[in-house]
Each structure stands twice: as structure tokens, then as C-alpha cells.
Structure 1
Amino acid sequence: MTFVSYDVALLAPVSLEHLEDGSEVCRKQGRVAFGSRAWEVFRKLDALRNGLPVEVFIYASHDPHVHKLAVSWKGLYVGHVESDNGAHPMGMRFRPPSTGKYHEDNHGYWAVFWEVESLRRLQEDQCIPTGRFWGLEKPKSYGRNFVPEGPILIRYPMG
């Protein structure tokens, strides 16, 4: 059984092609790494999570089949690593192969790589509208037309 912190959670957009390829990497390697330039979000998250994994709720961007704003993927955030001149320090071992199509995706663009275990696509009836989420330090939910444009610390959704 994995213990998870319920003090904080993460809401993040990831391109659908990277999620689909990343789920296979996660299955084979035990985790997958996604790039970000929002290093301060991940440093704060690591300070708040007390060494425990936290739930990550993922909005699949660039999905031509989805016409509603909803989280359709989920996983456990287990930490982040600093980039090595923009690349993951372990090369492509934990990266979705689809990122290889984009030169900058593995060569100089990202500040950090956030790592996820147990990545999975949610069933249709498990998807959560993005507007239902509350920012960690926000007085109310984001609202129904909310599109996450980067990783955001959120309150763990209850119920």
C-alpha cells in the first residue's frame, strides 16, 4: 500500500501523445518524466508533501476526441529532478518516446522533470471537470471554462 499526502495535489496539462507514450514508459520503467519550466512549483510541492507521493490530476491537452475541459488522466507525483542542460539526467529512459519528435523537448528547453508513477487514463465516468479544482491558496474553484496552462498546486479534491 502506498501512503499519499492529502495536504496538496497537482493539476497539470500534458499533451495526449506524451501521456499515451508515457503510460507505456511508466509500465516498463516504473515511472515517467514530463518536462517543465515551472521549477518553483515543483520545489514548493516537494516542500509541502513531506516526502510522500501526491496525486497528480492531468488534463490531456491536444486531444482531438475530447470536447470538454476535464482531467482524464491521473498518477502519483513522486518528485522532480533538475535538468542537465535541458535534458533529463537519465536521457530518454523515463521520457515518452513521442518527445523525441520535438528537438527542444529533450535538448535545452526544460528546467526540471517531474516524475510520475502509476499513470493511468481515467474511465469516462471518472473524469473531473477542470473547473471543479481549487488552487491551493484560492478562495474558490477555478470555474467551468478553466484550462490549466501549466502545473498548479491545488487542494486535494474531496468527494
Structure 2
Amino acid sequence: MPQAVELRVNGRVQTLAVDGRVPLLQVLRNDLGLNGPKYGCGLGECGACAVLIDGVAARSCSIPLDGVAGRAVTTLEGLGTAERLHPVQQAFIDTQAAQCGYCLNGMLMATVALLQRHPRPTDAQARTALQHHLCRCGTHLEILAAVQRAADLMSAGAPP
């Protein structure tokens, strides 16, 4: 049964009349029109649906809406704008890390979370942070290069 749920997404508070058991991904895409997070597997396995919840990368397809009430949710759309990209977004462009783009949302969100914890990650830390995000296009080396490029941009003072 629908109930009023307060949700803070990309810095804006939203009040929705939605069943709290509905997956966060469904609300983000269908009710709020945020299409950065993708529906991939629906099981929390592929990472295409990743968002940040209080700064931690999480799989939105397997988290019920009630689980994020009152918490800060950030989607790809909340990172930057077309005029002012987040350094991680710019780094993925600079290194040409995307091909089909389906995994890109998850890779970007995991990278943002990683760089918040480790501003200068080692290659091993980057691989560990991204290991559960599936990419079938084969841009793995470019994605790892993008992580290091983002670290460089952020340490040089590029605004997040």
C-alpha cells in the first residue's frame, strides 16, 4: 500500500506516495526520471544500478525505498552538470573509458566512492573497488586509467 516516503536525492527532498518495499531503482527511474542508474540484472550483481547512499556505493535495484528514507542518495545526475562535470566524469571522458556505456554509471559511482575513501588509490584498490561491476566491452584498462586520472584531477583541485 502506498505511503508517504521522504527521499533526499541529489540534494533535493522528494515526498512520494509509494510502497516502501519498491526497489529504489524503480523509484529513481520511473517516479523521478533519473536514468543514470540502469536496470541490469535486478539482483544486485552487475553494478549498473549503483548510486551513492550517504557517500557509499550501493546497488539500488536491491534496496527497498524504506531503506533509504532520510538518507542522502546521489545518482549520476547529481555528480555534475554538462557545463561543469565532476572530475570522475571528466576523467572517464579523457581516457575514453566508455564503449556501450551500460556499466558506466556503476563504474563512475564506485570510483567516486573509492576516491572519497582513498584520494590516491593504488591499482589494487581500484581493481578491488570495481571488481563487482560487470563490463563486457573490454575497456577495463581505460577504466583503471580513468580512476587514476580522476585522482590526479581531484588532487589538482578540480571541483567535485
What's the TM-score, normalizing by structure 1?
A: 0.27
What's the TM-score, normalizing by structure 2?
A: 0.27
Q: Which has the higher contact order (CA 8 A, sep 6+)?
A: 1
- Which has more strand, going by share of residues? 1
- Which has more helix, going by share of residues? 2
